[in-house]
């Protein structure tokens, strides 16, 4: 009797599960159908053609043949990316004698509208843009890029790096004026070598190296490891626990004026460097040598837990 009740309960549960799954599937299909039906069909008769646009917008057309968008149009027999691919159908705009409201204007659009238009093509390259600091702050694509007036060899930036980044990141600019800095002002490095302005899942829009480590190891390969004995801050806080990434008064871009002060932030029982129990050879009041004189392999070692050579 108990066995029969058990199987009846199992059958009831299976029936409930299948019914719920079918109901969910039916409900999930409805928004998709509504979305696909709400898209406006493209009517070729509503388009005027790029040649018609050029009759009035001569300044915008100048040098446009060097634009990557124009190159795409040529590669597709003139049917690729043209003026109306971004600004929308222009026939009504032309027939009205150039009434501005009859066509999509990027300069009058909201950042979200601009973003939506650009991501119709570039969403594959920038799928995470809406969740980045730039996207959440409503930084329009036009804040950095200019489609008609751009710097050559700069992916359509309004001006070259780092000046385009300095428009907002004014607090970073003084760091590169420090005596020791990454050579961004000299043009040997670009902001985008370390940061991806269109989005990453790392803090500060940082990129990762090919090995999925901190981007610093792309150049500073000697710190990469893996090491048998790893310096813990590298794994917990990262390179910036000891180094300023942009510039410093210290030759190693350290966050403190000298190595000893930096090390003793963690390796000291108190703020008093001569605290009881500290060996005489670690007494910084008597020994004015850098910690790294002995602890040479400070990022990590394969032979010694105290990072001796």
| pLDDT in the model for residue 198 | 92
What's the mean pLDDT when you consider all of the chain?
81
How does residue 150 score in pLDDT terms, banded at 50, 70 and 90? confident
d(CA 124, CA 140): 18
| pLDDT in the model for residue 229 | 92
| pLDDT in the model for residue 21 | 43
| pLDDT in the model for residue 49 | 87
My answer on whether omega of the bond before 226 falls inside 30° of 0, hence cis, is yes
| pLDDT in the model for residue 26 | 38
d(CA 161, CA 173): 12
pTM of the complete model = 0.75
Mean pLDDT calculated for residue range 132-160: 88
| pLDDT in the model for residue 194 | 95
Mean pLDDT calculated for residue range 4-23: 50
| pLDDT in the model for residue 264 | 81
Mean pLDDT calculated for residue range 209-233: 88
| pLDDT in the model for residue 68 | 83
- Over the Cα atoms of the chain, what is R_g? 30
Residue 124 in tokens: 């594959």
Residue 167 in tokens: 């428009």
How many residues in total does the chain contain?
A: 309
| pLDDT in the model for residue 288 | 61
d(CA 254, CA 247): 9
Residue 103 has pLDDT above 80, yes or no: yes
Adjacent-strand bridge partners of 206: 195
Residue 25 has pLDDT above 60, yes or no: no
Q: Are 196 and 135 in contact (CB under 8 A)?
A: no
């Amino acid at each position: 009797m108990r066995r029969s009740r058990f199987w009846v309960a199992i059958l009831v549960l299976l029936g409930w599960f299948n019914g719920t799954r079918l109901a969910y599937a039916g409900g999930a299909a409805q928004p998709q159908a509504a979305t696909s039906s709400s898209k406006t069909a493209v009517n070729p008769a509503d388009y005027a053609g790029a040649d018609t646009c050029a009759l009035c917008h001569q300044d915008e057309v100048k040098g446009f043949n060097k634009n990557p968008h124009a190159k795409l149009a040529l590669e597709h027999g003139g049917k690729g990316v043209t003026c109306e691919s971004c600004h929308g159908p222009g026939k009504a705009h032309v027939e009205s004698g150039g009434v501005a409201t009859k066509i999509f204007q990027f300069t009058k659009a909201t950042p979200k509208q601009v973003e939506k238009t650009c991501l119709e093509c570039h969403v594959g390259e920038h799928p995470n843009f809406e969740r980045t600091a730039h996207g959440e702050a409503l930084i329009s694509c036009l804040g950095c890029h200019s489609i008609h007036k751009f710097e050559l060899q700069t992916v359509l930036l309004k001006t070259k790096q780092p000046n385009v980044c300095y428009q907002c990141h004014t607090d970073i600019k003084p760091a590169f004026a420090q005596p020791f800095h990454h050579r961004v002002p000299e043009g040997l490095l670009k902001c985008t070598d370390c940061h991806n302005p269109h989005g990453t899942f790392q803090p500060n829009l940082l990129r990762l190296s090919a090995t999925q480590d901190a981007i610093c190891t792309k150049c500073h390969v000697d710190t990469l490891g893996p090491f048998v004995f790893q310096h813990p801050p590298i794994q917990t806080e990262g390179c910036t626990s000891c180094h300023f990434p942009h510039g410093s008064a210290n030759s190693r871009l350290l966050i403190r004026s000298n190595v000893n002060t930096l090390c003793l932030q963690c390796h000291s029982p108190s703020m008093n460097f001569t605290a009881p129990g500290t060996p005489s050879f670690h007494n910084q009041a008597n020994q004015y040598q850098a910690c790294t004189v002995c602890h040479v392999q400070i990022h990590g070692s394969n032979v010694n837990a105290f990072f001796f050579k």
